[in-house]
Amino acid sequence: MKKIVLLGGLMIDHYMYVDHYPMRGGDCIVEKEADYIGGCPYNVANALRQLNFDAMIYSHLFNDSQGQKIKEHLINNNFNTTLCIEDEGKTGTCNIILDYKKERTFFSSQGNEGIFNRKDFTDDLIKDINYVYLSGIYLTYKNHNKEIIDFLKELHALDKIIIFDVSPMVASLPKDDIIEILSLCNIIKANKEEYSVIHSYVNPNEQIILVTDGANGSTIYNGQYSRHHEAYCTNTLDSNGAGDNFLAGFIYAYDLGFNHTSCLDIASACGSLACEHIGTGVQITLNDIQLKVSGQ
């Protein structure tokens, strides 16, 4: 079983369902509310562990009510909690407004989940891992970016496969940090807007670049060619986590040695399946993926 460490931190996604998103200064009624375990690493790990990966989320878990809720969920659902470090502090919350068009608007309140400490990783653990995933949102905490970059350099020197999921807030991050991180990565995933910010800092001749564009599909850039994949038809209920599940599907197919076309098939299927569920913690099986790819 392949091992992947996911860097990013865990929080609570607080959903508010509304019939419309109001103009600035306007008003609307919240029809219902719900809490889910959130954070991009959680979504990727949840998908990969269903695809036979040993997925270890690195996050400090705090002794507040939100942190305890996350801890109980992970234990009850058999997540690998080796790198979930119990600590004192405040857990962040991401408030998500989902309107009738299934469009999401995010308001994040960061807690202490952005902590990074190299001492949390034993030498034996580092030796055993195959992949390392970094969420760009992790870098928005900023306090530990230098330590994270140093850790990535260490992993790069050990030939670990480094995967970077670019953040929507990439333009607000220190340019030098982003350039250095991108230079260490094997696989980079960005949406169309994020890619417009980083495209001059990546090297498709040496890296795999994945660019997603919602219902318009996705494109892979590698070497001297690019390949586009149309999005699968889907009954979208909530697109939150679609990109995370897309990336999980790609990692799974890439690890099996599939060609890039097949990797995009599987990645797109996983992203599409995520859209058919509300909230995080999507359950995706290989049979689900096969049915989606075959058009059933």
Number of H helices, E strands in the chain: 9, 13
Would the pLDDT of 214 be above 90?
A: no
- Number of separate domains in the chain: 1
Over range 187-202, report the average pLDDT: 96
Any idea how long the chain is?
296
Q: How does residue 296 score in pLDDT terms, banded at 50, 70 and 90? A: low
Tens digits of residue pLDDT in 56-84: 999 999 999 999 999 999 999 999 999 99
SS3 label, residue 63: coil
Taken in order 121, 126, 131, 134, the sign of the CA dihedral is positive
Distance, C-alpha 38 to centroid of its chain: 10
Place of tokens 């470090």: 85
- Of the given ranges (26-30, 92-96, 215-219, 274-278), which has the lowest mean pLDDT? 274-278
Tens digits of residue pLDDT in 233-242: 777 777 777 8
CA dihedral of residues 33, 43, 232, 284 (deg, nearest 10):
-100
Domain interval for residue 62: 2-293
Would the pLDDT of 192 be above 90?
A: yes
Q: What is the pLDDT of residue 201?
A: 95
Q: Kindly report the CATH number assigned to the domain that includes residue 132.
A: 3.40.1190.20
